[in-house]
């Protein structure tokens, strides 16, 4: 079997997450009456907004009529959506983009995983630790070694520049899992590094709509000259509850040289565009009604984040995130082992969260709670935690 891609054998299994799921299921089985509250998974729970639902019904009806039926669309996305994205996501931040710099896709996960294909097999990659596991796994599959950039409370979750030169840097801000956001100065430092070293920044900004502080950058292109060095990923998943609809977009500026044409060629060869009805749903997020409803949805989740932050802080814990992101990154007292703590939390108060070590070695000693539950259940979870002896 020499023909298989043996790099796959080097991947860490999803053992930890599978193990966690198994433990929760086993606990529920042993304790069938236990009322488990799940604040572990980063999935939304609020239904789609009325503006989105109306747009989808309309688009479905168009698909039923020969005069308005749509077959293959442009691989890059429909012009109506690309123009709405440029207008609402970028022009509002003072950033100008051409329509052939924006690529609509079926998810940021796909794009951040696939983007490495347009870079050489030998390029040197830096990834923050802890972080969303897809950056690492997609590079391991391609046979690349990776440098980790520790990101902990010791450096304010703003990692140091790599000691050895790298070609590709993955940054995620607002960050999953730490919920922290790179400041303008923090981002400027990275853009400056990339300009000096001829490196490319892969900027995952899927949670930018959760930023409340107007001083924090919501796009890397707010930083001067970032278009020369950065590719940016944004998503409708968390912004508008599209995790079950699948729509996102990636910006590859033409100032990056051949990379714009390479990504276009990659998408045209290996992807066939997002469903028309889904793109109409995404367009509706930017309508006046859609913007209002989306803002309400985000405010709801950020209300949950505030409940968790306030509860844990009041109990004397060190907590990060949750102010400009839907994740709360809880620094466990006395350097507690995060896997052990997950088991204890489940047993003592039937609350599920995610052990920090699941996002990288530097996540050990931390614990992630998400703001995507319902308000009542989030309040109940916090009340239970505050009653628990930790």
- Residue 81 found at the interface with a copy of itself (CB under 8 A): no
Residue 290 makes CB contacts below 8 A (sequence gap 6+) with 49, 51, 52, 240, 284
Query: For a copy of itself, which residue of 10, 31, 47, 333 counts as binding (CB under 8 A)?
Result: 47
- Chain positions 176 to 205 lying near a copy of itself, rule: CB under 8 A, are 198, 200
- Residue 271 found at the interface with a copy of itself (CB under 8 A): yes
Query: For a copy of itself, which residue of 23, 83, 134, 192 counts as binding (CB under 8 A)?
Result: 134
- Residue 56 found at the interface with a copy of itself (CB under 8 A): yes
Residue 288 makes CB contacts below 8 A (sequence gap 6+) with none
Least distance between a copy of itself and beta carbon 265 (Å): 6
Give the range of 6-14, 83-91, 202-210, 346-354 binding a copy of itself by CB under 8 A. Answer: 6-14
Burial class (CB in 10 A: 0-12, 13-18, 19+), 193: middle
Residue 132's H or E segment, with its range, is none
Using alpha carbons only, give the angle 284, 289, 293 rounded to the nearest 5 degrees: 95
Closest CA to 371 of 294, 295, 306: 306
Closest CA to 124 of 166, 68, 182: 166
- Tell me the three-class secondary structure of 338-349, residue by residue: HHHHHHHHHHHH
- Chain positions 315 to 334 lying near a copy of itself, rule: CB under 8 A, are none
- Residue 244 found at the interface with a copy of itself (CB under 8 A): yes
Note the Cα 140 to chain centre separation in Å.
20
- Residue 255 found at the interface with a copy of itself (CB under 8 A): no
- Residue 19 found at the interface with a copy of itself (CB under 8 A): no
- CB atoms under 10 Å from CB of 17, counted, come to 15
Give the range of 59-67, 302-310, 355-363, 375-383 binding a copy of itself by CB under 8 A. Answer: 59-67
Least distance between a copy of itself and beta carbon 164 (Å): 15
For a copy of itself, give the closer residue by CB, 65 or 389. 65
Least distance between a copy of itself and beta carbon 203 (Å): 17
Query: For a copy of itself, which residue of 91, 196, 212, 265 counts as binding (CB under 8 A)?
Result: 265
- Residue 110 found at the interface with a copy of itself (CB under 8 A): yes
Query: For a copy of itself, which residue of 14, 31, 92, 99 counts as binding (CB under 8 A)?
Result: 14
- Residue 246 found at the interface with a copy of itself (CB under 8 A): yes
The span from the CA of 335 to the CA of 365, in Å, is 5
């Amino acid at each position: 079997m020499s023909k298989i891609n043996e790099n796959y054998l080097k991947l860490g299994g999803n053992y930890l997450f599978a193990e966690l799921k198994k433990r929760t299921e086993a606990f529920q089985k042993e304790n069938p009456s236990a009322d488990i509250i799940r604040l572990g998974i980063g999935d939304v729970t609020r239904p789609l907004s009325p503006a989105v639902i109306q747009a989808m019904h309309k688009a479905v009806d168009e698909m039923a009529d020969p005069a308005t039926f749509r077959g293959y669309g442009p691989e890059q996305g429909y012009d109506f959506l690309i123009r709405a994205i440029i207008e609402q996501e970028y022009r509002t931040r003072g950033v100008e983009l051409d329509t052939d710099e924006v690529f609509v896709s079926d998810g940021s996960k796909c794009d951040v995983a696939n983007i490495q294909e347009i870079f050489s097999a030998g390029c040197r990659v830096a990834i923050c630790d802890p972080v969303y596991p897809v950056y690492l796994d997609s590079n391991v599959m391609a046979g690349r070694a990776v440098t980790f950039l520790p990101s902990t409370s010791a450096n304010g979750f703003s990692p140091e520049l790599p000691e050895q030169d790298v070609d590709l840097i993955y940054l995620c801000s607002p960050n999953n899992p730490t919920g922290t956001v790179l400041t303008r100065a923090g981002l400027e430092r990275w853009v400056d590094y990339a300009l000096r070293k001829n490196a490319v920044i892969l900027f995952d900004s899927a949670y930018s709509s959760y930023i409340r502080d107007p001083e924090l950058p919501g796009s890397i292109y707010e930083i001067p000259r970032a278009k020369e060095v950065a590719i940016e990923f944004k998503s409708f998943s968390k912004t508008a509850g599209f995790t079950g609809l699948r729509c996102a977009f990636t910006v590859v500026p033409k100032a990056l040289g051949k990379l714009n044409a390479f990504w276009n060629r990659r998408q045209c060869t290996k992807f066939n565009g997002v469903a028309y009805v889904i793109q109409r749903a995404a367009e509706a997020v930017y309508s006046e009604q859609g913007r209002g409803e989306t803002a309400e949805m985000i405010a709801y989740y950020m209300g949950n984040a505030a409940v968790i932050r306030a509860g844990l802080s009041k109990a004397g814990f060190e907590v990060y995130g949750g102010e400009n992101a839907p994740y709360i990154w809880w620094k466990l007292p006395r350097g507690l082992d995060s896997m052990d703590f997950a088991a204890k939390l489940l047993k003592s108060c039937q609350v599920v969260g995610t052990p920090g070590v699941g996002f990288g070695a530097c996540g050990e000693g931390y614990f992630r709670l998400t703001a995507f539950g319902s308000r009542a259940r989030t309040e109940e979870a916090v009340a239970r935690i505050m009653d628990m002896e930790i």
